[in-house]
Structure 1
Amino acid sequence: MRCAVIGGGPAGRAAAMELAALENEVTLIEKNSIGGTCLNEGCMVVCGLNDVARLLNDAGRLRDLGVLDIDFTPDYPRIAGGVKDVLNKIRHVTEGETREAGVEIIYAEAMVEDGRVIAGDDEIQYDRLIIASGAGPMIPPLDGAENAITYRDILNIPELPEKLVIIGGGVIAAEFAFIFSSFGSEVTVVSRSGFLHDLDPVIRVYVTDKLLDDVNILEDTPTLRMDEFGAETSRGYIEGLPLLATGLKPNSEFLEGFVELGRGGAVLVNDRMETSRKNVYAAGEVTGGPGTTPIARLQGSVAGLNAAGIERRIDYRHIPRSISLGYDVGFIDNRDIDGVEATIPGLAGPGSFWGVPEGKTGLTRVKLAEDGGEASVYSVAPGARIGIAYLSLLMRLGISLYDFDRFIETHPSTDAVYKIMRFLSRY
């Protein structure tokens, strides 16, 4: 069967590799670089910069505690250049893995028609089509918005900004606020509504008070206009390089009239990732939703398998999420749980030992349904995203959290989730 996949990000690659593994003829069309936003502009960029930010924070803490005699000045162009070099290596490996899986890659802009995709000088006939064209930064209709940068420009800033004004109140805003405040910029976050308003209130307070304590956060503050030197807000003018972190917009303009689009241009799909057009599927950020890499991969896999004739339905239960700050903020948020809850400080251990004098060892919080079958888990700790992922698996397998009375942890560990689980399992 001939299959075409538009978009080489996590969703598109997952779909393409599922189809190729089932011995289908697969052509992947990518407009820019393999790996999509995650590798080239998003997750991996944050990882590279965050590693340096954490190192600088740790060095400063040890210096202040008198443990080390050290002085340092971050050189942002060198940091950004180093991140670019590593991304190039990862991109090369990613492309090689995709081709070795049996996927043909064409770098071109795609135009879709019924039964074929026009990609530059190539015409690809298909029996099944997967649309995974991703999303780009959403630019709000503000006067002077063209003067602001977005996450796409982060690695091309010529020098570290003395002051940075981040417009937005979500995960992207929080992660760049931590990074640049750690580098030494004076950072102000301007949020039209509440900052990280979807996060559990107790965890949100910890994040703002402990992990972003050097950041000036203005909530319920609309931005009125921008220029290249700052932003005019409802509280006055704030000086600094403006960075827009106002969400994502699906890359779906080329699909108008081809498949049904919903709010904000998101491609409408069912739980098999089928669009309104027969034999055409969609996955990843182009379908709207949370826009995380694991969900994009999951959607891509489901789309690819269904396109190959193998029945799969998407399951969004107990999805693990994370935010990269001084510590990982990992969580599984199941709303409307009525039961018991507990909150305890994080543990001293690898990555958090020297945070004890400042009371910055993290935080763990669990809400548990009375029958033990549903829970919301929040962990702020070094490596929290790893433990949260395995908890997600246990929940998706239907394992009761009361089974944690048999859990044996590795030691030393900085994640206190197991302590709360064992306590609540005997509640």
Structure 2
Amino acid sequence: MKCVVIGGGPAGRAAAMELAALENDVTILERKFIGGTCLNEGCMVVCGLNDVARFLDEARKLRDLGVVDLEYSADYRRIVAGVRETLSRIRHVTERETLDAGVEIIYADAEVSEGKVIAGDDELPYDRLIIATGARPGIPPIEGAEKAITYRDVLDLERIPEKLVIIGGGVIAAEFAGIFSSLGSDVTVVSRSEFLGKLDPLIRDYVMRKLLKDVRILENTSTTSIDEDGAETSAERIEGLTLLATGQRPNSEFLDGFVELRENGAVKVNERMETSRKHVYAAGDVTGGQGTTPVARMEGVVAGLNAAGVERRIDYRYLPYAISLGYDVGFIETGNPEGREAVIPGLAGPGSFWSVPEGKTGLNKVRIQDDGTAAAVYSVAPGARLIMPYLSLLMRMGVSMYEFEGFVETHPSTDGVYKLMRFLSRY
């Protein structure tokens, strides 16, 4: 069976590799770089910059404690050069892995029609088509918005901005606020509603007081205009380079009239990742879903298997999330406010030992229902993102948190969630 996948990001690659493993003839069409936004513009860029930001924070902390004598400075051009070199290496491995799985890769723009895709001078017939074209930065209708930068432009900066104005109140805004504040920028975040408003209030307060303590955050403040020197808001004018972190827009314009689109431009799919057109599937950010790489991969797998005739349905229960700041902020939220809650500070351990003097070891919160089902788990800790996927799996499997009474942890560890689980299992 001939299968064409448009988009070589996490969703497209996952779908293509599932199809290839089932001995289908699979071609990925990618317009620029394999790996999509995550590898080339998003998650990995944040990882590279955040590692440097964390290192600088640790250096300052140890210097201020008198543990080491340090003189240092951050050269943004060198940082960017290192990030780009590392991304290139990862991209090469990703491409090789995809080819070795039996997937052909063609770098070209795509035009779709019934039964075939046009890629440059090539015409590719297909039996099954999977659309995984991702999304791009959403540009709000603000006067002068074209004079701002987005996450796509961060590696093009010549130097660390002296002043940075970030428009937005979500994860992207928080992560870049933390990074550039640690690199030395005077950062102001302007959020038209509550900053990180979907986060648990206690965890949100900790993030703002401890992890973003040097960032000025204006909530419930609209941005009226942007120019080369700053932004005008409903509260005041703020000087500095402006970065837009105002959500994503699905890359779906070329599909208008081919498949049904939602009002926001997202491709409409069902739980089998089927579009409105028979034998055409979609996965990842182009569907306007959760916007995380693991979810995009999960959707790609479901799309690929269904395209191959293997029945699968998407399951969005108990999804783990994380925000990359000075510490990871990991959480699983079911939306159920009922249950018993317990909260403890973070534990001293690898990555947090030298934070004890300043009382910044993190925070843990768990909420469980009477039957032992976890309703929510939150952790602010050096390794918070590592524990969440495993808890997510246990929650999907229906494991009662009461079973954590017999939990044996590795030590030393900064994971305080297990302590709360054991405590709540007894009371």
TM-score in same-fold range (> 0.5): yes
In 1, Cα distance between the equivalents of 2:337 and 2:127?
44
Q: CA deviation at 1:159?
A: 1.0
State the partner residue of 2:272: 272
| Corresponding letter in the other structure for 1:288 | G
Query: Which stretch of structure 1 is more off in the superposition, 55-64 or 394-403?
Result: 394-403
Name the SS for the 2:356 alignment partner: helix
In 2, Cα distance between the equivalents of 1:131 and 1:374?
35
Q: CA deviation at 1:116?
A: 0.4
Structure 2 residue 200 is the aligned partner of structure 1 residue 200: yes
4+ long deviations beyond 4 Å:
none
Q: What TM-score, normalized by structure 1, do the two folds share?
A: 0.99
Name the SS for the 2:258 alignment partner: coil
| Aligned residue runs from structure 1 range 134-145, under 5 A | 134-145=134-145
Contact 2:338 2:375 survives alignment (8 Å): no
State the partner residue of 2:64: 64
In 2, Cα distance between the equivalents of 1:228 and 1:149?
10
State the partner residue of 2:162: 162
Name the SS for the 1:265 alignment partner: coil
Structure 2 residue 64 is the aligned partner of structure 1 residue 55: no
In 1, Cα distance between the equivalents of 2:375 and 2:68?
42
Q: What TM-score, normalized by structure 2, do the two folds share?
A: 0.99
Q: CA deviation at 1:263?
A: 2.5
| Aligned residue runs from structure 1 range 367-378, under 5 A | 367-378=367-378
| Corresponding letter in the other structure for 1:72 | Y
In 2, Cα distance between the equivalents of 1:193 and 1:110?
38
State the partner residue of 1:107: 107
Structure 2 residue 20 is the aligned partner of structure 1 residue 20: yes
| Aligned residue runs from structure 1 range 183-198, under 5 A | 183-198=183-198
Name the SS for the 1:263 alignment partner: coil
In 1, Cα distance between the equivalents of 2:133 and 2:171?
22
In 1, Cα distance between the equivalents of 2:298 and 2:404?
27
1:380-407 C-alpha deviation (Å, 9 max, x unpaired): 0011111111000101111111110111
1:85-139 C-alpha deviation (Å, 9 max, x unpaired): 0000000110000000000000001100010000111111100000000000000
State the partner residue of 1:348: 348
In 2, Cα distance between the equivalents of 1:294 and 1:94?
16
State the partner residue of 1:422: 422
In 2, Cα distance between the equivalents of 1:373 and 1:238?
47
| Corresponding letter in the other structure for 2:101 | A
| Corresponding letter in the other structure for 2:393 | L
| Corresponding letter in the other structure for 2:102 | G
In 2, Cα distance between the equivalents of 1:136 and 1:221?
24
| Aligned residue runs from structure 1 range 358-369, under 5 A | 358-369=358-369
| Corresponding letter in the other structure for 1:209 | R
Contact 1:49 1:79 survives alignment (8 Å): yes
Name the SS for the 2:99 alignment partner: helix
| Aligned residue runs from structure 1 range 235-250, under 5 A | 235-250=235-250
In the alignment of these two chains, the number of paired residues is 427
State the partner residue of 1:148: 148
Q: CA deviation at 1:375?
A: 2.1
In 2, Cα distance between the equivalents of 1:255 and 1:278?
14
In 1, Cα distance between the equivalents of 2:77 and 2:132?
32
> Which blocks of at least 5 consecutive residues in structure 2 are unaligned?
none
Contact 2:366 2:374 survives alignment (8 Å): no
State the partner residue of 2:317: 317
Q: CA deviation at 1:182?
A: 0.2
In 1, Cα distance between the equivalents of 2:415 and 2:326?
15
In 2, Cα distance between the equivalents of 1:325 and 1:263?
33
In 1, Cα distance between the equivalents of 2:189 and 2:387?
30
Name the SS for the 2:264 alignment partner: helix
| Aligned residue runs from structure 1 range 67-82, under 5 A | 67-82=67-82
In 1, Cα distance between the equivalents of 2:82 and 2:374?
43
In 1, Cα distance between the equivalents of 2:289 and 2:195?
19
Q: CA deviation at 1:354?
A: 0.5
| Corresponding letter in the other structure for 1:388 | M
In 1, Cα distance between the equivalents of 2:72 and 2:192?
36
In 2, Cα distance between the equivalents of 1:291 and 1:263?
17
Contact 1:337 1:374 survives alignment (8 Å): no
CA RMSD for the aligned pairs?
A: 0.6
| Corresponding letter in the other structure for 2:316 | Y
State the partner residue of 2:331: 331
> Which blocks of at least 5 consecutive residues in structure 1 are unaligned?
none
1:257-297 C-alpha deviation (Å, 9 max, x unpaired): 00000031000000000000000000000000221000000
State the partner residue of 1:37: 37
